[in-house]
Amino acid sequence: MPATAQDVLDFWFAEAGADHWFAADAVFDAQIRERFGEAVEAAADGRLDDWAGTPSGWLALLILLDQFPRNLYRHDPRAWATDAGAQRVALSGLARGDDRQLPAVQRVFAYLPLEHAENLALQRRSVALFEALCAEVPTAQRQPFEEFLDYARRHCEVIARFGRFPHRNAALGRTDTPQEALYLAQPGTGF
């Protein structure tokens, strides 16, 4: 049976959880490939655009376009091939206020397509969204959202400095500038 939007959300938020979201794990990546590989391809081809008709479907579509390719295609240009589509979908849903209908932790994944953009205006929008989200979360629950905000700011700084993410250069066949090579030589520069 084809995956549904609810299947994607249940897997990402209930089954996988935060321990897997940003970790490189071949077993986890294989689970995504087996369960959602066809859905990622369908989303990339525009065959699941109707999912964006509800806030939860919109979020599931964003996860298929933005998060899952990063798991399925690590260190491969396909990891970022659907970014432009994810950004368009994200901006459409944000204009409708879909993000405001989601729990705080789910809103993080509605904003990440903008954080992943090699576009300074979208980066700044991402930072503003994460700042607002962080301010809305009760103080006792704020710590992980402060970390999300910190990452958004760090992504924005890289784009402000280089106009692109240097850690993608090798996979995308781009030549590092001398400044990028110095940056990449520092520990902890990849996202």
- Domain at 130, CATH number: 1.25.40.10
The overall average pLDDT reported for the chain is 96
Q: Average pLDDT for residues 132-143, to the nearest whole number?
A: 97
Give residue 60's pLDDT.
98
Tokens 């994607």: give the residue.
Answer: 8
The secondary structure of residue 80, as a DSSP letter, is G
Look at residue 78 and tell me whether its pLDDT is greater than 80: yes
Residue 190 lies in a domain: no
Residue 128 lies in a domain: yes
Residue 119 lies in a domain: yes
Residue 86 lies in a domain: yes
Report d(CA 110, CA 91) in Å as an integer: 9
Residue 108 lies in a domain: yes
Q: State the Cα angle at 28 between 74 and 87, rounded to 5°.
A: 50
Look at residue 191 and tell me whether its pLDDT is greater than 80: no
Q: How many domains does the chain have?
A: 1
Q: Average pLDDT for residues 58-86, to the nearest whole number?
A: 97
Q: Is 97 exposed, middle or buried (0-12, 13-18, 19+ CB in 10 A)?
A: exposed
Give residue 38's pLDDT.
97
Give residue 190's pLDDT.
78
Residue 55 lies in a domain: yes
Give residue 111's pLDDT.
98
Q: Are 148 and 130 in contact (CB under 8 A)?
A: yes
Q: How far is CA 178 from CA 141, 163, 182, 183, in A?
A: 41, 14, 6, 9
Give residue 183's pLDDT.
96
Domain carrying residue 77: 5-184
Length of the chain: 191
Q: Is 126 exposed, middle or buried (0-12, 13-18, 19+ CB in 10 A)?
A: buried
Helix axes 104-115, 55-62, angle to 10 degrees: 50
Look at residue 17 and tell me whether its pLDDT is greater than 90: no
Report d(CA 38, CA 150) in Å as an integer: 33
Q: State the Cα angle at 38 between 74 and 16, rounded to 5°.
A: 60
Number of helices (H), then strands (E), belonging to the chain: the values are 11, 0
Q: What is the dihedral of CA 19, 82, 8, 28, to 10 degrees?
A: -40
| SS3 label, residue 189 | coil
Residue 189 lies in a domain: no
Residue 62 lies in a domain: yes
